[in-house]
Amino acid sequence: MAHLEARGISVRFGGKAALNDTTVLVERGAVTGLIGPNGAGKTTLFNVVCGLQAPNAGRVLLDGDDVTRKAPHRRARHGLARTFQRLELFTSLTVRDNVRVGGDIHKSWTRGRRDTAAEAERVLELTGLASIADREVAEIPTGQARVVELARALMTRPTALLLDEPAAGQTDEETAAFGRLLRRLAGDGLAICLVEHDMTLVMDVCETIHVLDYGRTIAVGPPEQVRDDPAVIEAYLGTPEGV
């Protein structure tokens, strides 16, 4: 049983099927890729998993529990965290304060004695943000802001993490560092699902890749298998030499 399961998900907007009987399984200790052309249904699937979009059919299970009908905040308390394609940060606050927000929210859920300040420092070091911790988010490049959003999500102590195009706006060096961070987080037991158009990153960090096209799954498998799949090449990747 996968740690996070979206099984048989179908979503219709009017007469259009955004997702059609789509299943994605995300294991702990691994990065699972979710790729496909724009409009394929990737973000819609994330919205279903997070509780922002009700499916017309299908179920979402987290650690074996059916959370399909649970509100987004209850799924978050159950261990689900997400970053967004469009950055959602407090730009007038420092990097450190943005990260601490996630810990403060989690502490309010548990009513525990968690030292969020100390944990924020640990997460800042882990994510490579310690050197810019005192800068306002409005002053830092988009690529670093993406990491701030990830760090804030980590402060909620998730067991499953959804990342929606986290490498957008990053330099090649930043993306390489981000890939190393994802592998470390997965190695620590986190279940990660990655939506990303940077195929170098996807092929480097993902153990399994699900490919969507027009709301349907057209391929599932390890990177080398997906990369050479004729249906994936035609729908999304282009010629293998261009990957």
Q: Are 180 and 230 within one domain?
A: yes
| Total domains present in the chain | 2
Considering only the C-alpha atoms of the chain, give the largest distance between any 2 of them, rounded to a whole number of Å. Answer: 55
Computed over every residue of the chain, the mean pLDDT equals 92
- Note down the domain range covering 28: 1-79+158-243
Q: Are 75 and 163 within one domain?
A: yes
Q: Are 100 and 65 within one domain?
A: no
C-beta of residue 178 within 8 angstroms of C-beta of residue 169: no
Q: Are 182 and 207 within one domain?
A: yes
Q: Are 57 and 177 within one domain?
A: yes
DSSP 158: -
User: How much is the pLDDT for 241?
Assistant: 47
Portion of the chain with pLDDT greater than 90, in percent: 84
User: How much is the pLDDT for 104?
Assistant: 80
Q: Are 123 and 62 within one domain?
A: no
Dump the DSSP string for 12-24.
Answer: EETTEEEEEEEEE
Q: Which residue has the tokens 């490498």?
A: 167
Residue range 165-210, pLDDT digits in tens? 999 989 999 999 999 999 999 999 999 999 999 999 999 999 999 9
Q: Are 70 and 172 within one domain?
A: yes
**Helix, strand, coil % in the chain, rounded to nearest 5:** 40, 25, 35
- Final residue belonging to a domain, choices 131, 157, 183: 157
Q: Are 50 and 169 within one domain?
A: yes
C-beta of residue 81 within 8 angstroms of C-beta of residue 143: no
Is 80 exceeded by the pLDDT of residue 111? no
CB atoms within 10 A of CB 118: 10
Q: Are 64 and 168 within one domain?
A: yes
Is 80 exceeded by the pLDDT of residue 49? yes
Confidence of residue 243 (pLDDT cuts 50, 70, 90): very low
Residue range 77-91, pLDDT digits in tens? 999 999 988 888 888
User: How much is the pLDDT for 86?
Assistant: 83
Is 80 exceeded by the pLDDT of residue 113? no
User: How much is the pLDDT for 200?
Assistant: 95
Q: For residues 142 and 2, what is the distance between their CA atoms, to the nearest angstrom?
A: 33
Q: Are 27 and 147 within one domain?
A: no
CATH of the domain at 75: 3.40.50.300
- Final residue belonging to a domain, choices 139, 157, 175: 157
Full-model pTM: 0.91
- Final residue belonging to a domain, choices 157, 175, 208: 157
Give the CA distances from residue 36 to residues 146, 212, 234, in Å, rounded to whole numbers and listed in that order: 21, 5, 11
User: How much is the pLDDT for 18?
Assistant: 96
